[in-house]
Amino acid sequence: MTTPERVIVAISGASGAAIGARIVERLAPLGGCEIHLIVSPAAERTLATEVGPDALPRLRRLATHYHAHDDIGACIASGSFQVSGMIVAPCSIRTLSAIAWGQLDNLLVRAADVQLKERRRLILMVREAPLHLGHLRAMVQATEIGAIIFPPTPAFYLMPETVSQLIDNIAARAINLMTIKTLIVPVPEWRG
């Protein structure tokens, strides 16, 4: 029997909560994936507004484990708990800044910090525009300490017909950045 790949999916309070939700939805049916979900208090509100009032309960059912945002003693707060990596989708500027400068005041940021110190994948889907110099410096700092900055940029060359198609493509690309062979999901390719 193979051990499942453990992946942390965190949803912070920026707009774009549907992307984080779709990542969980795409990972859940894959065999061999153990999903650890964290949702910030601001993200709870954003999920309800942007995805619907049933979004959080549905995601909690899909995830293997749901961790309270303030549970700093959860298993994923320790480097000894082996995970394949973490995706923060979307990643607010507040969360980005806390990760970049080690402000470990909640489980989301602590789990991200553990990924960095253990040299595991940390994908930050930073969702903000326009950006000022402080935002850019936080992205540089996060990159320098090992994070992957992946703004949820739509692939318009695929000629999507719906917003759902855009979201699905962005979610699949984020999952594939984890580079876990058993979790690779199909993504349409550029055919220039």
Domain assignment present for residue 190? The answer is no
Contact indicator for 118, 145 with CB cutoff of 8 Å: no
| Domains of the chain: total | 1
Domain assignment present for residue 120? The answer is yes
Range of the domain at 66: 5-181
CATH number for the domain spanning 38: value is 3.40.50.1950
Q: What is the pLDDT of residue 168?
A: 93
Which region, left, alpha or beta, applies to residue 14 given φ > 0 means left and ψ of -120 to 50 means alpha?
Answer: beta
Domain assignment present for residue 191? The answer is no
In the chain, count of helices (H) and strands (E)? 7, 6
pLDDT digits (tens, 9 = 90+) for 69-93: 999 999 999 999 999 999 999 999 9
Q: What is the pLDDT of residue 30?
A: 81
50-54 long-range contacts (CB < 8 A, ≥24 apart) are: 50/15, 50/16, 50/17, 50/18, 51/17, 51/18, 51/21
Domain assignment present for residue 189? The answer is no
Q: Give 149's strand partners.
A: 124
d(CA 64, CA 8): 10
Domain assignment present for residue 131? The answer is yes
Q: What is the pLDDT of residue 14?
A: 94
Domain assignment present for residue 72? The answer is yes
Domain assignment present for residue 187? The answer is no
Q: What is the pLDDT of residue 141?
A: 98
Domain assignment present for residue 188? The answer is no
Question: If you ran DSSP here, which 8-state letter would residue 74 be given?
Answer: S
Residues of the chain with pLDDT under 70: 1-2, 181-186, 188-192
Q: What is the pLDDT of residue 31?
A: 76
